[in-house]
Amino acid sequence: MKKFINVKLLLITILIQLSCSKEFLDETAYTDVTLDYIYTTPEGLDAALVGLYQVHRSLYNSNFGESQRAIIMPAKSDLAVVRAGQIALWAQLRWGHSPDGYQGTLLHAFWKHHYKVIDRANAIIKNAELSDNISDEMRILLSEAKVLRAEAYFTLYRMFNNIYVTTEPTSPENAFEKISKKSEPIEIFNQIKSDLEYAETYLQWINTPGRVNLAMAKHIFAKISMWEGNWQVAVEKSEDIINSGAYSLLVHPKYVFDGINNYGPRSASPKNNETIFNLQFSNPTIGGGIKTLINWNYTTNYGTIRGAKYDRAFGGKGAGWVYPNQYLLNLYESNDRRIDNTYFRTKYYYNDKPNLPSGKNLGDEITTPPKFTANWYQRIHPSCLKYNPNKNDLNWDPEVGVSQANFIIYRLAETYLIASEAHMRLNGNTDSNALSYINAIRSRAGVGDVSEVNQNIILDERARELSFEGQRWYTLKRMGVLYERITQHAGNDNYKNAARENMKPHYVNFPIPRTQLDLMSPDYPQNDGY
């Protein structure tokens, strides 16, 4: 099968990374750089990893189409309402259920991206492991590559189901081989766990910000164990992180996503020791400086209201495309700290004195008209604040939609909720550990303890804490309630709720894009229903 990057392109890319990396600014004859140097020295292997991290981050680039890819999974959940544009077609299940045409093109992008990460990782791992002298430093770097490969396989499996596993990098000898068989779940899980087990041996709890660490490896291991129904391992891996002493829950939700332009664990006040892994986009990052449109998609278009202008406090400029739906908002108690200008902004105020409407004063709350209109829905609906740039960053122009904010992929709050559910599955609804972990999250939010834990309580708390962080769709699928929740809650009542009618049971798996099936053997199986 023709894979997604050939050897020549791989080498060119690696050499480019070498030339761009901060550590390699001295004048060097890069035409003399050899594969032996790249794969047998810590310096060369690290440079190859810089290129792998850039590919890993590319899903979130500022390119319009790529930005759409990054928010499709949160938008397709039961917690969002999506107003317009191509993302709305996906969220309302008008797109995304055909392997052909433009839908297939974007599906191809998902498939290609993760297999590209895998192929880059395979090249690093395979060639480095051929070395006669692998140092401890090199084993740490190999571990980073293995975790990124494991994460890519885990994502592909959850999205596409019928995937194949390979640990061979693309080469002139195998570039045109055709894959005929999908891999069985046990093979996929075993490969993922093998990579993670290797990484656990060599990684440290806290690594360079934006790079894989031991906590990330254990966190993903806990998540894959949940998919296997191996609750004991999920408990062990999650509690390893919780009890490590390297991470802690922040004292208030307002700190969790504050300072997201800083390095993680970030230097917000107090220091963000809740972050397990975040994507680095700020200029000081090696290979960084990439801009994203994530915040622009999630922030309402309040600046189009007379008497209001885009500013830092309100989240800057937004398009108003993807919002929390009323089902999600109703899950929060009135005193929940996560709904009070922390995770979400629900209120906006007049802040443009020269353009105030008649009868309005500076600081008055902007209210919706008595009769619902789609235009006002776009302008004043609550916004997600989790991807806002640091409002103290003077380099951020709130009138510009793109930003270079770093943002969190994995954090300790999810680890707590994994531990709570795993204990509940093992020992019942009133297990003391299950209650302790979920109530720690609730206590931070300023709401009362629960006296029992069940699947619905876990789902509701995960919604309150982790919504719009890209985990919801996968969680619903794992629990077997994706079809049920989409048909009940997607969109809003009487507004952009087409997904409820369009949802089909087989949509729990994405179709394999036609472009990829055409590269496979004719007997490679498409997912059922397509």
**Residue 330 half-sphere exposure, CB side, CA atoms within 13 Å?**
9
Comparing 121-125, 127-131, 252-256, 437-441, which segment has the lowest mean pLDDT? 127-131
Q: Where in the chain is the domain with CATH 1.25.40.890?
A: 1-203+479-530
- Please provide the DSSP assignment of 23-70 as one string: GG-S---GGG--HHHHHHSHHHHHHHHHHHHHHHHGGG-SSHHHHHHH
Q: Which among 287, 291, 290 is positioned nearest to 13, based on CA atoms?
A: 287
Q: How confident is the model at residue 30 (pLDDT cuts 50, 70, 90)?
A: very low
Q: In the prediction, which pLDDT does 44 show?
A: 87
pLDDT digits (tens, 9 = 90+) for 445-498: 999 999 999 999 999 999 999 999 999 999 999 999 999 999 999 999 889 999
Q: How confident is the model at residue 15 (pLDDT cuts 50, 70, 90)?
A: very low
Tokens of 380: 């004043």
Determine the 3-state secondary structure of 481 from DSSP. Answer: coil
- Mean pLDDT in residue range 302-322: 91
CA distance 68 to 317: 17
- The answer to whether residue 177 scores a pLDDT higher than 90 is no
Residue 255: count other Cβ atoms within 10 Å of its Cβ: 19
Q: How confident is the model at residue 283 (pLDDT cuts 50, 70, 90)?
A: low
- Mean pLDDT in residue range 21-48: 59
CA angle at residue 54 from 51 to 59, to 5 degrees? 145
Question: In angstroms, what is the C-alpha Rg of the chain?
Answer: 23
- The answer to whether residue 145 scores a pLDDT higher than 70 is yes
- According to CATH, the topology of domain 1-203+479-530 is 1.25.40
- Please provide the DSSP assignment of 299-320 as one string: S--GGGSTT----TTTTS----
pTM above 0.85, yes or no: yes
Question: What single letter denotes the amino acid at residue 208?
Answer: T
CA angle at residue 158 from 152 to 161, to 5 degrees? 105
Comparing 36-50, 146-160, 253-267, 515-529, which segment has the lowest mean pLDDT? 253-267
Q: In the prediction, which pLDDT does 403 show?
A: 79
pLDDT digits (tens, 9 = 90+) for 388-423: 887 666 777 889 888 777 788 999 999 999 999 999
Residue 104: count other Cβ atoms within 10 Å of its Cβ: 21
Tokens of 23: 């550590």
What is the 8-class DSSP label of residue 273? T
CA distance 305 to 375: 10
CA distances from 450 to 331, 429, 457 (A): 14, 11, 9
Tell me the residue length of the chain: 530
Where is mean pLDDT largest: 4-13, 79-88, 348-357?
Answer: 348-357
Task: Enumerate long-range contacts of 228-234, CB under 8 Å, 24 or more apart.
Answer: 228/189, 229/425, 231/422, 231/423, 231/425, 231/426, 232/422, 232/426, 234/418, 234/419, 234/421, 234/422
Q: In the prediction, which pLDDT does 374 show?
A: 80
pLDDT digits (tens, 9 = 90+) for 225-259: 999 999 999 999 999 999 999 999 999 998 898 76
- Mean pLDDT in residue range 214-234: 98
Burial 517-528 (b: 16+ CB within 10 A, else e): beebeeebeebe
User: Average pLDDT of the chain?
Assistant: 86
